Amino acid sequence: MFLALLEMKAARGRFLLMGSVVVLVAALVGIVSGFTTGLGDDTVSALRRLPATHIAFAAGSDSDQFARGLIDDRTTTGWTREKNVEATPLGISITHGTTGRGTEVDLAAFGVEPGAFAAPGIDDGKPLARSRPHGIVVSRQLVSEGVRIGDTLLIDRLGIRLDVVGTTGRSSYGHVPVAYVTTDTWRQIRFTAPGAKAAPADLPVQYSAMALKLPADADTKALAEADRRHGTTTVPLETAFEAAPGYDGERLTMTSIQTFLFLIAPLVVGAFFAVWTVQRTPELALLRALGASRRRLLGHTLAQAAVVVATGTAVGAALASGVGLLVGEQVPFSLPASTLSTTMAAVALVGLAGSALTLRRVTTVDPMTMLGAGR
């Protein structure tokens, strides 16, 4: 180890250059990971907040089910009568509104039953209630855009006026801040034609999906049978994320970028140590001639690789965290400690794997090289 560190000190320029490359690769992987997590949260955080285990969609809707699929009143009633299942209707629509103070906002209206398990927790103000049928609870992003408790929010083109009664935590759907309304209000938003006046009783009794809470030991056969009876397709909550607009495409894009970075890292590190091994072949031959074992030379090389990769990865992790602090909530970026640790560990492992590509040349160096066998 002493010899490895001594050699790194003698050629510190080269090792600093290689370390800088590792820093940039690690930081880039960390930043991409932060954007991957942040974009995912910005697309489905409202769904993640649902205390549900499964989502039941109308059978036959294969993509974008929250927007294209509708379940009727009969299905809703059937699911609520199922044994060992908590079920509540859920409506999701993206719309646009303007407050009485002229603040324009885009919002994803989540229709929930007041008091049901899908209703949001309240940070400030009052929760949704049947006694306030035109109440609306807004997420923290809408508060940051200028929506306040006590405001009246006018849904554009529909003339529906909603009173902001409370606020809840950060919650988004399809990169749009979420606001929670009663299911009757949601039906007005979803089914009222622009310029028309319609009471909730005159509108279709339909919803986007059913939110379900099933016990951990739920029988899959019984669930399939319930789907058959009610004409639905039930999927786990995590699978339902794919029904959010853009979720699959964004995840595939960001994951592909991460994959290419993980492929680049070992190649870069391996290329550096391959060149470095060729340049110091005479020194390695001398060590072999003096009696150094192959195992010692392997340890010597791996120690140098470990120092370069570990130090570069740690600095890259700090740089990625700094970027996260710098951008704050201005962009969808999220890099929790667990994700950062896992990502950096993967970078370090693939970097060390790249250095391992040079080990064969280290172990096969000929000590006779120092006696002129190469001439």
Tell me how crowded residue 247 is: count the other CB atoms within 10 A of its CB: 19
pLDDT digits (tens, 9 = 90+) for 298-333: 777 777 778 888 999 999 999 999 988 888 777 888
Which portions of the chain are predicted below pLDDT 70? Answer: 1-11, 63, 278-294, 297, 359-375
CB of 273 closer than 8 Å to CB of 306: no
How far, in Å, CA of 1 to CA of 75, rounded?
70
Q: Where are the beta strands (DSSP E) in 156-267?
A: 160-167, 172-173, 176-182, 206-207, 209-213, 232-236
Can you give the pLDDT at residue 73?
Answer: 92
Can you give the pLDDT at residue 159?
Answer: 87
How far, in Å, CA of 61 to CA of 85, rounded?
23
Can you give the pLDDT at residue 356?
Answer: 78
How far, in Å, CA of 240 to CA of 63, rounded?
10
CB of 41 closer than 8 Å to CB of 334: yes
Q: Which residues are bridge partners to 164 per DSSP?
A: 136
Can you give the pLDDT at residue 69?
Answer: 84
How far, in Å, CA of 182 to CA of 135, rounded?
8
Can you give the pLDDT at residue 218?
Answer: 84
CB of 120 closer than 8 Å to CB of 49: yes
Can you give the pLDDT at residue 239?
Answer: 92
Can you give the pLDDT at residue 194?
Answer: 80
Q: What sign does the dihedral 327-329-332-338 (CA atoms) show?
A: positive
How far, in Å, CA of 97 to CA of 145, rounded?
12
How far, in Å, CA of 6 to CA of 3, rounded?
5
Q: Which residues, 6+ apart, have CB-to-CB distance to 117 below 8 Å?
A: 51, 52, 86, 88, 211, 213
